[in-house]
Amino acid sequence: MSFEPVLTRGIGQLDLNDIEVYEKQGGYQALRKALKMTPDEVTAEVTKSNLRGRGGAGFPTGRKWGFLPKDGRPRYLVCNADESEPGTANNRILLQWHPHQLIEGILISAYAIGAAKSFIYIRGEFYRGYRALVEALAQARAKGYVGERILGTDFSQEIVVHRGAGAYICGEESALLNSLEGKRGEPRVKPPFPAVVGLYGMPTIINNVETLSCVPHIIERGADWFLSIGPAGSPGPKIFTVSGLVRRPGNYELPMGVPLRELLFEHAGGMLPGRKFKAVQPGGGSTPLLVEQHLDTPMDFDSVRQAGSMLGTAGVMVYDDTVSMATVAAYLARFYANESCGQCTPCREGTRWMNVIVDRIEAGGGRPEDLDVLRSFGFSMMGTTICPFSDASQGFIQSALKYFPEDFTARMSVAAGREEVRTA
């Protein structure tokens, strides 16, 4: 497939952290164009483009902006740069190597929604990305793109960069807001949703790095151009992070809807020598497995959902025939047990016991009832908590038990054999 990169164009060839270089590539022209439009016109163009949030759920961005109440209260825009999903690194490259694109997207979006101030909540471990953002903001301020009366207009905007402390839960939008306010990073009960009661109790829009980075291109080239890339239901470019047992792991920017087979076997080079494809998590560690029968699935929000998983963050984690899903389950169960905020009992206790049971199976000490207990978590933990974390913890384990139960029973058979030897 021939495709000219949009979001990653120039990365690796040009120093896009330098504002002079970014401007020579057309940078900040979309902001100039947007400021000649009305905020409603900017919002209408983004809505027409059907840009869907790249952070996981795929909610239409323009529709989300439209939820803001028109009651005169101050509004805020928050960029979620707390990329913490296992297997995902697409936001990091944009933060570290293309910060002005993000800043321009934030400025246009803030203008469209009438934000009083914008915030970037960045994962604390992304120190290079943090430094790149701070330096880029200083350059943008010196050029008159950030601050008071931007480019001689009545539009003013400050952008605050806030470093988180590394908690996975703070990627959830309401936990992020609590952390940004200096509170414990725990999700809030919804409704009310952040668009109505968000940061400091004010209407707030939260979009992620890749979503906001798309906005300048939509304004500069138009919604029809954006709609021409990929399927109409999930248009535009998408950065896929391919990790695991492939020849060329990395970030690949491709049209939304690229077939999974093409992504893995053409762009990522296929499986390692002598290995066979076994399964893939298409959207990071929290998404259910897809197997060989799903290789022709288009990688867009709707198609992946129809196949039984989620596109999520497009962190594509690939497993071959040498991998035991019991081993992967042990790693992921430990991750979710450690990262649960503990606010909701089903999640706090469920992730802990899931970790105990899967570790026991992986160590060869599984019990006959263990698999049934793990399957029961799919009923007791899903849809019973404030945020989707508990559901996310079940994505891999339930699909692994569905497609590869033998990987778990094999470990339990080993344990049974040892017991027979001991009792003989």
pLDDT band at 415 (very low <50, low <70, confident <90, very high): low
Does one domain contain both 257 and 110? no
Residues 141 and 69 in one domain: yes
Q: Is it the case that residue 203 has pLDDT exceeding 90?
A: yes
Q: What is the CATH number of the domain that holds 53?
A: 3.40.50.11540
**Distance between CA atoms of 373 and 94, rounded to whole angstroms?**
42
Q: Edge-to-edge, what's the strand order for the sheet holding 277-281?
A: 250-255, 237-244, 315-320, 277-281, 290-291
Q: Which residues of 352-371 are buried (b: 16+ CB within 10 A; e: fewer)?
A: bbbbebbbbbbebebeeebb
Same domain flag for 27 and 118? yes
What is the pLDDT confidence band of residue 413, given thresholds at 50, 70 and 90?
low
- SS3 call for 21: helix
Is residue 261 domain-shared with residue 211, that is, in the same domain? no
103 & 207 share domain: yes
399 and 314 in one domain?
no
Q: Is the pLDDT of residue 133 over 70?
A: yes
pLDDT at 379 (0 to 100): 87
Residue 1 in any domain: the answer is: no
CA–chain centroid gap for 155, Å, is 30
Please say if the pLDDT value at position 1 is more than 90.
no
Alpha carbon distance 51, 237 (integer Å): 10
Distance of CA 279 to the CA centre of its chain: 20
Mean pLDDT of 214-236: 98
7 in a domain, yes or no?
no
**pLDDT at residue 153 is higher than 90:** yes
Average pLDDT over residues 57-86: 96
pLDDT recorded at residue 57: 85
Does residue 193 register a pLDDT over 50?
Answer: yes
Other C-beta atoms within 10 Å of 126: how many? 22
pLDDT of residue 109: 99
Let me know if residue 13 belongs to a domain: no
Average of per-residue pLDDT across 303-332: 97
> Is it the case that residue 421 has pLDDT exceeding 50?
no
Structural domain contains residue 2: no
Whether residue 12 lies inside any domain: the answer is: no
107: Cβ contacts below 8 Å, ≥ 6 apart: 31, 118, 145, 146, 150, 157, 159
Which among 183, 198, 227 is the end of a domain? 227
Q: Which helix or strand (DSSP H or E) is residue 121 part of?
A: strand 117-122
Binned at pLDDT 50, 70 and 90, residue 424 comes out as very low
H or E segment to which residue 212 belongs: helix 209-221
**End of a domain among 209, 227, 245?**
227
Task: Using pLDDT thresholds of 50, 70 and 90, give the confidence band for residue 59.
Answer: very high
Radius of gyration of the chain from its Cα atoms, rounded to whole angstroms:
23
Whether residue 279 contacts residue 297, with contact meaning beta carbons closer than 8 Å, is answered with: no
Placement of tokens 């668009």 in the chain? 195
pLDDT at 417: 47
pTM of the model: 0.95
Other C-beta atoms closer than 10 Å to the C-beta of 319 total: 23
Q: Considering the chain, what is the average pLDDT of its residues? A: 95
Average pLDDT over residues 347-373: 94
The residue to which tokens 């809030």 are assigned: 188
Residue 169 has pLDDT above 90, yes or no: yes
- CA distances 365 to 357, 412, 416, Å, are 9, 6, 8
**Has residue 420 got a pLDDT over 60?**
no
Give 369-390 as a DSSP string: THHHHHHHHHHHSTT-SSSTHH
Q: Are residues 58 and 198 in the same domain?
A: yes
CATH code of residue 282: 3.10.20.600
- Report the run of H or E that residue 410 belongs to, with start and end: helix 405-423
Residue 152 exposed, middle or buried by CB count within 10 Å (0-12, 13-18, 19+): exposed
Same structural domain, 288 and 185: no
Residue 232 counted as domain residue: no
Query: Do 81 and 216 share a domain, yes or no?
Result: yes
Contacts 24+ apart (CB under 8 A), 288-297: 288/395, 288/396, 288/398, 288/399, 289/325, 289/396, 289/399, 289/400, 289/403, 290/260, 291/403, 294/260, 295/259, 295/260, 295/261, 295/264, 296/259, 296/260, 296/261, 297/259, 297/260
CA distances from 411 to 2, 44, 279, 325, 408 (A): 45, 56, 19, 11, 5
Range 236-259 average pLDDT: 98
Together in a domain, 252 and 351: no
> Residue 337: which domain range?
325-423
Indicate the burial class of 191 (C-beta count within 10 angstroms; 0-12, 13-18, 19 or more). Answer: exposed
Domain final position from 204, 227, 250: 227
Looking at residue 148, its amino acid is E
Same domain, yes or no, for 192 and 209? Answer: yes
Give residue-wise pLDDT tens across range 122-131: 999 999 999 9
CATH of the domain at 367: 1.20.1440.230
Same domain, 35 and 179: yes
Is 333 a member of any domain?
yes
Q: How many domains does the chain have?
A: 3
Express each pLDDT in 256-268 by its tens digit: 999 999 999 999 9
Residue 422 is predicted with a pLDDT of 40
For residues 393 and 381, the answer to whether their CB atoms sit within 8 Å is yes
Q: Is 73 contained in some domain?
A: yes
Rounded Cα distance, 352 and 370, in Å = 14
